[in-house]
Amino acid sequence: MTASIVGWAHTPFGKLENETVESLIVRVATDALADAGIAAADVDEIILGHFNAGFSPQDFTAALVLQADPALRFKPATRVENACATGSAAVHQAVKSVAAGAKIVLVVGVEQMTKTPGPEIGKNLLRASYLIEDGDTPAGFAGVFGNIAQKYFQKYGDQSDALALIAAKNHANGVSNPYAQMRKDIGFEFCRAEGDKNPFVAGPLKRTDCSLVSDGAAALVITDADTAKTMAKAVTIKATAHAQDFLPMSKRDILQFEGCSVAWQRALQSAGVTLSDLSFVETHDCFTIAELIEYEAMGLVPAGQGARAIKEGWTRKDGKLPINPSGGLKAKGHPIGATGVSMHVLSAMQLLGQAPEGMQIKDAKLAGIFNMGGAAVANYVSLLEPAR
């Protein structure tokens, strides 16, 4: 691959009452260019990842990036969207633009969800499913994954301990992430027990099994290899892969996350590496059952044995393949359009030894990122390494 990340920015995730979609975009675009030491006039293209689907009254948002600097006026700016994988869709589009000849691409991912009333949030998110089949699902998108969890339990047995361990792991990791929405180690016992503060939400999924409703933004400056050589810091995007699966779950075995498997296989093969070469992974834990199945889909364990990876400590920060050292979507939050960009920012920080204390993976050399849209429909994998 010829594309490199040379600068970034990241807001805290959470309920950002004094921000708007526009202010979030402007903030991270400005900060990312400053971080890279690149003038706005030198940007060749702008890619915005913004899911929206009803969250923001202002649609048609690509041009809002121009508000960051008058020198961005008349630059090509495009909004991309692929449900919860929108952020990675933006990153991958930037990589393609660099391959096509662009030297400097500014990527922004943004979402503001918390100003939307609760029932509408569920309805908006459910639009990332196949409405003909899933439109009446109780509890919205959580209900979709609740059904997946129920089917998994029926096939492989009760996995409540494993799901609680995943939630507890990610919340413990999130304590060290200054951008995380929830920086509290709530522990296995709290995540495992059903109660007033942790009720069942959908099927076997409790509140602690579900990612948070969030506002936030992140941005990257992506350049060609020659430009990256002149920058103060650079992380190479070693490989990217995108596998899109059928939208209707009735057309596939939903317990396999086959699109996730295909994306991982393509990326690893393209980079000439194996899963064991990875230093850590940031994966899409929109729900704990998703992370569990992703262990299997990426090839860490065989089908039905995802619990083994968490119970034996493989995926903890000190395990053989740390997964979600940032706290994941579970603790960090999940502002839809920003999530994939955030994953790339935090992975780049890890690879340059710039992650916050307590979050940093020692001697990180190769990062894997998996960002998913819908129920394993849009599947994006990126592999990153230090450029030098």
Query: Which residues are known to be catalytic?
Result: 84, 334
- What are the tokens at 174? 């999130």
SS (H, E, C) the chain: CCEEEEEEEECCCECCCCCCHHHHHHHHHHHHHHHHCCCHHHCCEEEEEECCCCCCCCCCCHHHHHHHCHHHCCCCEEEECECECHHHHHHHHHHHHHHCCCCEEEEEEEEECCCCCHHHHHHHHHCCCCHHHHCCCCCHHHHHHHHHHHHHHHHHCCCHHHHHHHHHHHHHHHCCCCCCCCCCCCHHHHHHCCECCECEEECCEEHHHECCCCEEEEEEEEEEHHHHCCCCCCEEEEEEEEEECCCCHHHCCCCCCHHHHHHHHHHHHHHCCCHHHCCEEECCCCEHHHHHHHHHHCCCCCCCCHHHHHHCCCCCCCCCCCECCCCHHHHHCCCHHHHHHHHHHHHHHHHCCCCCCCCCCCCCCCEEEEEEECCCCEEEEEEEEECC
| 368 to 185, 239, 310: CA distances (angstroms) | 25, 10, 18
Neighbours of 385 (CB within 10 A): 21
